[in-house]
Amino acid sequence: MLTRRNFVLSMGALAGTGSAVLACPAPAPVGQAHSVLMLNAACGDPDTPNVFEPALLHVNVGDTVTFLATDEGHNSASKRGMIPDGAEHWNGAIDQELTVEFTVPGIYGHICLPHYEWGMVGLIVVGGDLHNLKAVKKIRHPGTARGNFRALLKDLEAQAGNATVSQ
């Protein structure tokens, strides 16, 4: 399994220094397959615990996303009320890789069940479609998840650059 520890150790060996490297083993998308890392701390920022990397991902209709159990103790589950109508919910097992195919355009919110209240949340935008943004923004979240989802939605709206999106 590709863990952050194994990655850091291999990078140190390649660099010939043996020193720790603050980097994430971010697999690049291959064709229509994407990866999201489930991590104990943000890449390059050990003071930001329990994150998905990337936290905001854009994919095409029909693409797959594999949630990689990079660090122990995490899962990915769709958040009720934060996926488009007609889309299927998912709930991955803790410490297990999970692949989800996205066939319905729209915004999908996902969470790590054990770390949801502490802010381990993410968004996936399928097909560039933001039709369910208003419904997604209405969902209430506990603790740090509230601010983290707000920040992701603000980033999404900034990327869209469309005044009608922020309604």
Q: What is the pLDDT of residue 160?
A: 87
Question: Judging by DSSP bridges, how do beta strands 33-42 and 64-68 pair with one another?
Answer: parallel
| CA distances (Å), origin 32, targets 1, 27, 38, 65, 139 | 22, 13, 20, 9, 29
**Can you give the pTM of this predicted structure?**
0.81
The pLDDT-based confidence of 4 (bands split at 50, 70, 90) is: very low
Domain 4-160 classification at class level: mainly beta
Give CA–CA dist 114/89, Å, rounded.
17
What are the residues whose beta carbons fall under 8 Å from the beta carbon of 65, sequence distance 6 or more? 33, 34, 35, 36, 57, 59, 99, 100, 102, 124
Structure tokens that stand for 31 in this block = 């064709």
pLDDT tens digits for range 151-165: 999 999 999 885 344
